[in-house]
Each structure stands twice: as structure tokens, then as C-alpha cells.
Structure 1
Amino acid sequence: MAPAVFFPRGPGKTIAEIADLIGADIRNAPDRERRMTGIASLDEAGPDDITFFDNIRYVEGLASTQAGCVILGHRFGSHAVPEGTAALVARRADHAFASVGRTLFPSALAPASVLGGTGISDRAFVDPDAELEDGVTVEAFAVIGPGVEIGAGTIVAAGAKIASGCRIGRDCRIGANVSLSHTLLGNRVLIHPGVSCGQDGFGYVAGPAGLVKSVQIGRVVIQDDVEIGANTTIDRGAIRDTVIGEGTKIDNQVQIAHNVVIGRHCVIVGQVGLSGSSTLGDGVMIGGQSGVNGHVTVGDGAQIAAVSTVQGDVPPGARWGGVPAKPVKEWFREIMTLTELAKKRRSAGKNDE
């Protein structure tokens, strides 16, 4: 059986070309014209691979790596590398490595079509009232409803369902089994497999006969250059739109409830839950498995630590964490205090014995 390689190597780049690309200083390279064709971790890299080192925890891996080239962050620029391994010193090793990866493997940047073809599959259903620009790809078993508009260069993968009236911009990627309804997408939006977007939110009014369902008549508006991870769910607005600002990146399995407004260039990590009518400013970062209460505002540039619960408004630029979330310094002081109290109780218990 042939080895499974999903991202084959191309012609690569020389060490000199890579240094120019990332603005790095060449510290050790007997052959600057040597070509690097792949990327790998320190411990798995071979002589044709480039890797990076920016964390002292992996210093043993640096000493034993067989990589052809390693990118070092400035603070580690003087660390020794094995003989035969070129060293490039960059301001941010992680940023530089990401740039190299994008250059060597451009096909890995966005979800590709499942079947690898182009055009409209004869096994897809496209309603006659849908409007698709030239250059749209619709794969087998995808369904495009009436009144849908899709821009040039967009790929709708196998099994995706685009409901009536949705509008999708140019150069988007709609992954396999994605479900879109009541949704407007900008350009270059990447939606990974299994995302459900535009379904009604969770809204009920309690009454004497039980729970009465509230109607949800808003939309989901997703601006340019947003990326949405696999199996994330985004509810449409109740009486105003659910909005995701340009450049925002959302991880897998995130729940975004009705009327949520997310600013530009936010980062929302896996399994975060945003309750209805919460608002995130621009540049907000939320760690994995955190929750934000309904009608709460998180200010521009704020950061929420993983596994935190945000119950009240967070000021711009703040760093909060904990349950309930509070300023990080206050949270750490409380943890230290509780730790010291626990130690004293244990010590007192031993003395009593």
C-alpha cells in the first residue's frame, strides 16, 4: 500500500529564499541554496524539512533534531544546533514558521473540494431560481435552494445544504455537510465540515401552560475573512441579527446563540459557549471551554482564560479568568490564598495527631 500523503511536497524553497521570506538572519548554513520541501516538528524533521524552536522545554529536541533548517526566536538565537542543520534567527519563530508553512503548502490553507472537481456536479441539486456566478463549484449531493446567490470561486462541498435566500460571497469554502439558512456570508469565508448556521435560537417564555416558543426572525451575518471550525453552531437572531465581524477565527464545536455580536479579528477557541445577546468587541480572545453569560459585553482586546465563566461585563483590554471570571491578578491571589490555607489545615491536622 502506498503511503497516505494528503499534502504532497512541491519544489520547496532554498534556505536563502526562506530567510528573505521571513526576514531572518542566517546564522549557520554551509549551503544557502539547499532546498527545503517540508515542515515538521523538531523530533520528526528530516534533512529536507524546516522546523522551529521557541520554547526552552524542547531544548533536547533541538540538540538532536535532524532537520535541514531550524528557525530560532531571537531570545534563543545563540543556542547550538546540530552540525549540518542551518539556523535562521527571526524575531518571532512561530510567526516565521507559519509563513513558511503557508508558502510550502498553500493547498492546506482552506478546505478543498471533497471530490476534487470543478463546476456543478450533475448529482447536485441547484434550484433554477438560484444565481451562481461563473467559477462556482457545487459537488455531488449538495442542495442549493431558491433565491440563493453564490459568488465566483466559491466551493460548496458534498452534502452541503444552502437554504432559500442565503447569499455567499466570492472565494468562500463551504465544507461537507454544512447547513446554512437565513445567512449572509462575505468574501473568503471558510466554513469547515458539519457547521450549522442560521437555525433558530433557544428562546422560550414560561407561562401557566408551560414553555411557549418565541419566534426568531433575525439573520446571521458573517463578514469577510471569517473562519468557522467544524461542528460549530451559530443561531440566527431573534429580533436582530447575529453578527460575526471580519477576520474573526472560531474553533471547532463552539456554540454562538441568537443576537450575539462578535467584533473583528476575535479568536474563540473550542467548546466556548456564547449566550444570547452577548457582545464581544474587536480583538477579543476567549480560551477553550469558557462560557459568556447572556447580555454581557466583553470589551475590545480583552482576554478570557480557558475554562472560565464570564458573568458580568469585562472592560476593554482586561485579562480575566476563573469561575466566576475576574481580573487575572485577583484570581491568582485567591488561588494562592486558598492553597496556603489548605497547607495550614493539613499541617494543623498532623500536629493534632
Structure 2
Amino acid sequence: MAAAEFFPRSDGKTIAEIADFIGAEIRNAPQWDRRMTGVASLDEARPNDVAFFDNVRYADSLGATRAGCVILSERYGSRPVPEGTAALVTKRADQAFASVGRMLFPMALAPQCVSGETGVSDRAFVDASARLEAGVTVEPFAVIGPGVEIGSGTIIGANATVASGCRIGRDCRIGANVSLSHTLIGNRVIIHPGVRAGQDGFGYVAGPSGLMKTVQIGRVVIQDDVEIGANTTIDRGAIRDTVIGEGTKIDNQVQVAHNVVIGRHCVIVGQVGLSGSCTLGDGVMIGGQSGVNGHVKVGDGAQIAAISTVQNDVPPGVRWGGAPAKPVKEWFREIMTLSELAKKRRSAGNSDE
């Protein structure tokens, strides 16, 4: 079977054009006019690929790469590259490499139409009261409910459902099999396949006859430029809104419970659980498989290590980790102390034998 290329190469850009685009210094360019048409890792790159180097762990790969062009961070700018490989030196190689990838493969930045159709498919259902601006695409078997409003340039993927009253801004991408209800979405939002947003949260009151369900009458508000990964779930608020601030990026399989407020430009990695009514400030980063307890506040710019449990409020700008989470230095000291105690016990056990 022939290898599939889901993102075909374009005519590309010359080395000189790439250097100008990322503001890099050309340290070595055997062929300034050679066209780069792809991006790849150092060990898999071909003569028409751009690669990057920003970690000494990959020094051997740098020395053996076949890439036509390598972007290096300034601190590694003097490292030798193979003959025939251009070296472009810039302040942040990772950022420059990301920019080049975006330039060469713009179609990879957001989900595209599965069917290849534009406009409203005759196999989709759009309620007569829905308002769609010009340039909206609704793919086959999508359902658009009463009173829905959708801005121009937005794509609604196959089998997606947008329930009554939802509003979606312009240039959004709503992936296949997404379900939206009680949700307001800004502009340029990307929602990957399988996301569920706006369903009621987990709320019950214990009583003599068992568990009594509480009403959840809030909304989900997703601001501009947010991206939400596949199969993430976002519950609507109970008596206030669940809010995701502009520019925030959420990974796959994250749980956002009712009344959660996430600030602007946060990063939330896969399998994180945010319990009801917790609040994240702007610029917060949370590592994978971590949990934040209900009603906890995490301050602006705080970072939470992976596999941590946040039980108490976190001050702004700090780095915490562990279970329960605490300042990283304190957490590391505890780990070292436990490690030393374990070594002593093992030594004592060996001496008794």
C-alpha cells in the first residue's frame, strides 16, 4: 500500500525566504535558492525539509541529518552541521520552527471539511429559525437547532449537533460528532471531534429518600481563539456560567465541571480534571492527569506539575506539584527525604542478613 500524504507539500519557500520570515541569521547556506517544502525531525528529514535543534540530547542527530535546512537556537549557533545543510540561527528555534510549519502547511492548523463540500449540505438539518451568515459550511448529517446563530467562515462538521439557542462566532471549526448545547462561542475557536459542551453538571443533594438532582441553569461561554481537544467535556454552569477565557488551549480528554472559570491563555494538558466552581487565573499551566478540587483558586501564571492534586488555593506565579500539591522545592525535598529513608532501611535490612 502506498504511503498516504494527508498534507501534500506545496511549492515551498527558499532558504533565503525562510530566513527572512523568521528573522534568522544565515550561518551556512550552500544553496540560498533551494526550496524547502516540508518539516521533519533531524533524523528523518530529507534535503527539502526544515528541521530544528534546541537540545544537546539530539547532537548526534544534528551531525548526521540530511535536512536541507536546520534552525538552531542562538546558544547552539556555533555547532557544526553537515555539508550541504543550511544553518539558520535565531533566538528561539522551537518558535521559529513552529512558524515555518504554519507557513508551509496552513491546512494542518484546524480541522477541515470531511466531505469536501462547502455551503449547507442537503443532507444536514438546519432549523428554519437558525441564522447562518454567508460562507458557513454545514456538513452532512449535522443538526442545527432552533434559534442558533453561526458566523461566516465557520465549519460545522459531520454529525455535529448544535442545540437550540447556541451562538457560534466567525471562522470557527466545529469538528465531527461534537455536541453543543447552552453554549456561546466566540471567533476563531477550534473544537475537535467528540467534544461535549453544555450538558448539565454533576449535582445532587443527599436526602432521606436518596439523591435529589439539582438544576443546572447556567451556560458555557467559550471566548475567542480557544482550542479544545478531542473528547473533552465541558459542563454548563449550575447558577453561573462555565467560562473559558480567550486564547486558552485545552488538550484531549479533559473534564471541565460546572461553574469552572478558566482565565486567558491557559494551557491544560490531557486527562486533567477541573472540579466544580474552581477558578484558574490567566496564564495558568496544568500538567497531564492532574486534578483541581472544587472551589479552589489557582493564581495567575501558576504552574502545576503532571499527576498532581490541588487541594488548596495556589498563589500567583508559583510552581507546585505532588499529591497534595505544594511548592515544587518542598515537594522535591520530601521525595529526596523518602528516598534516603528507603535506602537506609534497605541497608539496615542487608546488614541484618
Q: TM-score, normalised by structure 2?
A: 0.99
Answering whether residue 185 of structure 2 is matched by residue 180 of structure 1, we say no
How far apart are the structure 1 equivalents of 2:336 and 2:73? 33
1:330 aligned onto 2:324? no
Specify the alignment match of 2:6 in structure 1.
6
Runs of 4+ in 1 over 6 A off after TM superposition: none
Counterpart CA distance in 2 for 1:100 and 1:237 is: 40
Counterparts of 1:234 and 1:315 in 2: how far apart (Å)? 25
Rounded Cα–Cα distance in structure 2 between residues aligned with 1:347 and 1:4: 57
The alpha carbon displacement at 1:168 in A equals: 0.3
Confirm whether residue 65 of structure 1 aligns to residue 65 of structure 2. Answer: yes
Aligned letter for 1:38? G
1:345 CA drift (Å): 1.1
Look up the equivalent residue of 1:175 and give its one-letter code. G
Counterpart AA for 2:144: I
| Stretches of structure 1 lacking an aligned partner (at least 5 in a row) | none
Matches of 1:251 and 1:307, distance apart in 2 = 15
Deviation at 1:301, TM superposition (A): 0.2
Matched, 1:283 2:308: no
The TM-score normalised by the length of structure 1 is: 0.99
Which digits, 9 at most, give the CA deviation of each residue in 1:183-239, with x for residues without a partner?
000000000000000000000000111110001000000000000000000000000
What is the rounded CA distance, in whole Å, between the counterparts of 1:35 and 1:111 in structure 2? Answer: 27
2:198 corresponding residue in structure 1 = 198
Q: CA deviation at 1:2?
A: 4.3
C-alpha distance after superposition, 1:98-137 (max 9, x if no partner): 0000000000011101111100000000000000000000
| Distance in 2 between residues matched to 1:18 and 1:10, nearest whole Å | 14
Q: Counterparts in 2 of 1:22-101, with a 5 A limit? A: 22-101=22-101
- Partner residue in 2 for 1:253: 253
Query: Aligned letter for 1:144?
Result: I
2:211 is aligned to: 211
Distance in 1 (alpha carbons) for counterparts of 2:89 and 2:340: 43
2:62 aligned partner, one-letter code: L
* SS of aligned partner of 2:205: strand
Amino acid at match of 2:349: G
Q: CA deviation at 1:3?
A: 3.0
Question: Which letter does structure 1 place at the counterpart of 2:238?
Answer: A
- What's 2:234 paired with? 234
> Partner letter of residue 14 of structure 2?
T
**Unaligned segments of structure 2, at least 5 residues:** none
Q: Deviations over 1:260-317 (max 9, x none)?
A: 0000000000000000000000000000000000000000000000000000000000
What is the Cα-based RMSD across aligned positions, in Å? 0.7
The CA distance in 2 between the partners of 1:105 and 1:214, in whole Å, is 47
% same residue:
82
Partner of 1:145: 145
Are positions 1:292 and 2:292 aligned together? Answer: yes
Distance 2:100 2:143 in 1: 37
* 1:158 counterpart letter in structure 2: A
Whole-angstrom distance in 1 between the partners of 2:30 and 2:135: 47
The yes-or-no answer on 1:108 pairing with 2:113 is no
